[in-house]
Amino acid sequence: MAMATVKLSSPAAGLLAGGRTRRSAPARRATVIRAAAGSYSDELVSTAKSVASPGRGILAIDESNATCGKRLSSIGLDNTEANRQAYRQLLLTTASLGEYISGAILFEETLYQSTTDGKKFVDCLKDQNIMPGIKVDKGLVPLPGSNNESWCQGLDGLASRCAEYYKQGARFAKWRTVVSIPCGPSALAVKEAAWGLARYAAIAQDNGLVPIVEPEILLDGDHGIETTLEVAEKVWSEVFFYLAQNNVLFEGILLKPSMVTPGAEHKEKASPEAIAKHTLTMLRRRVPPAVPGIMFLSGGQSEVEATLNLNAMNQTRC
């Protein structure tokens, strides 16, 4: 079990002027803090390193049943469990998938499904050295007292759900919250996002799941790239402050940040080089070196835009 110990001072007995003996203060007990990772520390570090292994990335197939239904209807299929199973089987049994994919984020239904031959999907993934992951948040809802902003729900019952997901074979988790620049963002929304992510991360680690920490800074707005950088630095500063407050093991987490870009309605489009420069600046200033991996989300960018920006980051010398 990972432990962190804080020792409080306890003054020893001594002589006062004139030779009188000073009565010793009662010894104060050391405060022992249990790290969130608990007995899973080594496994969490190993899982995080595997998901962050060079040359591979995460496959996100955690669409809700409703969203999956839209994909099926586009090719004339009904939104049934059998059709959703067939769609996900097509993805998860792709030959040589493990050469390019290190982790797959699953919807809860998929985590418990099997192929038509009876092989569990989680076993299909593990056979290709792909870590099964699971979406654990319950979605965004309005944040009372804010500037029309949102917060992510799902902490109630999270510990028991994470424990069950671990038994089923999941080894990492995803929790998405958002921050809106046009809405301020308000100090309340930033704090709620950071605190919620930290509580989720601690609970996930305590039950054996590597948490993906994802405060998505939305692309909405006409602000410039410098504004995005300023907000991103503030958000990530709060996130890591509360992660530390909750005794989260940094070596056992993964980050999924937005790239630092101008707002989608900004009059000037930034080059991939400019986006790479600002994104890397934010990461160097805010992300502790103990964190093993960063997986970027496109955040509303096109596939081509996100790929060009990611390539520019990889071409930049740190």
pLDDT-derived band at 12, boundaries 50, 70, 90: very low
Residue 16 class from Cβ within 10 Å (0-12 exposed, 13-18 middle, 19+ buried)? Answer: exposed
Identify which has the larger pLDDT, 64 or 166. 166
Which tens digits make up the pLDDT trace of 160-189? 999 999 999 999 999 999 999 999 999 999
Which tens digits make up the pLDDT trace of 66-107? 999 999 999 999 999 999 999 999 999 999 999 999 999 999
CA gap 172, 52 in Å, rounded: 12
Task: State how far the alpha carbon of 208 is from the alpha carbons of 20, 46, 101, 169, in Å.
Answer: 57, 11, 21, 10
Q: Is the dihedral of CA 220, 151, 283, 251 positive or negative?
A: negative
Stated as kind and residue range, the H or E segment containing 194 is: helix 187-206
- Residue 6, pLDDT > 90, answer no
pLDDT value at position 17?
36
* CA-based nearest residue to 105, from 92, 93, 117: 92
Task: Fill in the amino acid letter for 136.
Answer: V
Task: Find the Cα–Cα–Cα–Cα dihedral 103, 139, 156, 189, rounded to 10°.
Answer: 110
pLDDT value at position 16?
33
Mean pLDDT of 109-127: 96
Catalytically annotated residues: 214, 256
pLDDT-derived band at 26, boundaries 50, 70, 90: low
pLDDT-derived band at 3, boundaries 50, 70, 90: very low
pLDDT-derived band at 45, boundaries 50, 70, 90: very high
pLDDT-derived band at 297, boundaries 50, 70, 90: confident
Which tens digits make up the pLDDT trace of 215-273? 999 999 999 999 999 999 999 999 999 999 999 999 999 999 999 999 999 999 999 99
Provide the strand spans (E) within the chain. 3-6, 31-34, 57-61, 101-106, 131-135, 140-142, 150-152, 172-179, 210-217, 254-255
- Residue 33, pLDDT > 60, answer no
End-to-end CA distance of the chain: 35
Percent of the chain whose predicted confidence (pLDDT) is above 70: 87
This prediction's pTM: 0.85
pLDDT value at position 94?
95
- Residue 158, pLDDT > 50, answer yes
Which tens digits make up the pLDDT trace of 187-223? 999 999 999 999 999 999 999 999 999 999 999 999 9
pLDDT value at position 107?
94
pLDDT value at position 300?
84
